[in-house]
Structure 1
């Protein structure tokens, strides 16, 4: 058996630390990326539709408050009949 002194071959305690620093430097140079899924894009479109609907509801509220809103009773009754008979609205 051979016993080596303090300068053993293939033994460098700082080698792992140096390699770790090199690996970290490579990770730092990577650019951040953002990928938006098709589901997320679809949800963004839904938000746009909801903002249009909110605008429409606000217009109706304002017309009710001013007294300018009129109700078409026949059209309302027809829509209720269609809904409950299964012809539309579902």
Structure 2
């Protein structure tokens, strides 16, 4: 008794499923795209700090060089706690 007829000798019941998986992989690979907005490109392009920021940095540099710069440990620890509490 023959289980498979002459037309079914190359029949693979999983072929359709395998083809569908391959098609989905190809679609997934094509679907991933990255687009950067014009505003983001402008922000990336501005490596130069703003004038206000540059003035603040210069003030801190002068304070450090003259020895007048002091750090308040309580204020620093408070800022650290605020930062890490917002991250969780």
TM over 0.5: no
Please report the TM-score for the alignment, with normalisation by the length of structure 1. 0.42
Report the structure, 1 or 2, having the larger helix content: 2
Please report the TM-score for the alignment, with normalisation by the length of structure 2. 0.42
